[in-house]
Amino acid sequence: MTLPLLMTPTLPLARCRFRFIVTTPIRLPEWSGSLLRGAFGHGLRQLSCMTRQKDCGACPLQRTCPYPAIFAPPAIEHEIQRFSQPPAPYLIEPEQWGARHLQTGGCLQFNMVLMGRALYEFPLIVEAWRRAAGRGLGPAQGGQAGTAELNHIDYLPPQGEPVALYRRENNVLAEIPLHVPVCPPVSKLNSVRLRFISPLRLQDNGHALSATRLTPASLLTAAIRRVALSSQLHGGHAPEWDFKAMAQQAAGIGEGEKALQWRDWGRRSSRQQRVMKLGGVMGDWQLTGELTAFFPALYMGTWLHVGKETVFGLGRYELDYDASQ
């Protein structure tokens, strides 16, 4: 059975670009998403936590506190599976790959995609970043971590020029626009190309899949799951998709050119007190076959990313397709 084009899930989203001026030199690792997320979490907790308990799960204010709701949503039971780490209502997109040393007066820039509650807590999120950057980013140099000052924030619409939300000179934060992505009209789609600009990490039984072990079905299933769960948790509505039928159709999707290369990186986990290797594949991947039904999930994935550790910015891709097919 060939599935028709499905409705795009209703999920308000916003992509914003944060730009800071470096006030004390900052050393960024090969992939700065983990470092930035950790700093953001410290700043958000400092602003939000009223009880100062170490464990949010034991806190009587857990259900109302913005810190766990935004930074680390608690485990949930879902019809797909039990999720010990449900998707957070945000993700961070570092500017580029590669270790860098930012000097005083330089620019630290990254994007943040917000959805659900994170959109309504935007002023709190901005203040958390302001505090995080002032407190220190990256490893200490000469006893001091690098610092930066928030300079401006832009809203990045799907089309058109960036819209200023904050400028340091006037110190006024504008209301963040809400955008609900609508899948472009496509009558039939037989080929798409995904260009992964940050590592795609898909796993099987806890082990990351190499380029040779990745299949179109594994990618499409992960994209469907990511979009469906995010839409339900942060948009309030689960898409009315036939997951069983989609999984069956995904098994028949083929691939054309597959130019993926493994890119390794590691981060230090403060919770586990060890360095974790979190590599993935980057490059181009063409899928071929009856892809019409999967287009909404692939389209939404250009905001939500796909795979593991999307909150660090992993699994980000650009999507090329021909709507006239």
Q: Is the pLDDT score of 201 beyond 80?
A: yes
pLDDT for the residue numbered 76? 63
pLDDT for the residue numbered 279? 85
Q: What angle do CA 229, 113, 217 make, to 5 degrees?
A: 45
Q: Is the pLDDT score of 77 beyond 70?
A: no
Average pLDDT over every residue of 7-13: 76
pLDDT for the residue numbered 184? 83
Q: Is the pLDDT score of 113 beyond 70?
A: yes
Average pLDDT over every residue of 111-132: 96
* φ, ψ dihedrals at 120, nearest 5°: -80, -15
* In contact, 264 and 314? CB cutoff 8 Å: no
Average pLDDT over every residue of 17-30: 94
Q: Which residue has the higher pLDDT, 125 or 209?
A: 125
Output the CA–CA distances (angstroms, integers) from residue 175 to 84, 178, 243, in the order listed.
Answer: 33, 9, 37
Structural domains of the chain in order of their starting residue, each with its CATH number: 13-173 (no CATH), 191-321 (3.30.70.1900)
Average pLDDT over every residue of 220-247: 88
Output the CA–CA distances (angstroms, integers) from residue 238 to 78, 219, 243, in the order listed.
Answer: 11, 20, 12
**Percent of the chain scored above 70 by pLDDT?**
88
Distance, in Å, from the CA atom of 97 to the CA atom of 111, rounded to the nearest integer, reads: 14
The two most distant CA atoms of the chain are separated, in Å, by: 64
* In contact, 71 and 88? CB cutoff 8 Å: yes
Structure tokens at 252: 């028949």
Query: 0.75 cut: is pTM over it?
Result: yes
pLDDT for the residue numbered 4? 47
Q: Is the pLDDT score of 61 beyond 90?
A: no
pLDDT for the residue numbered 186? 82
Q: What is the pLDDT of residues 266-310, one digit of tens each?
A: 665 555 555 667 789 999 999 999 999 899 999 999 999 999 999
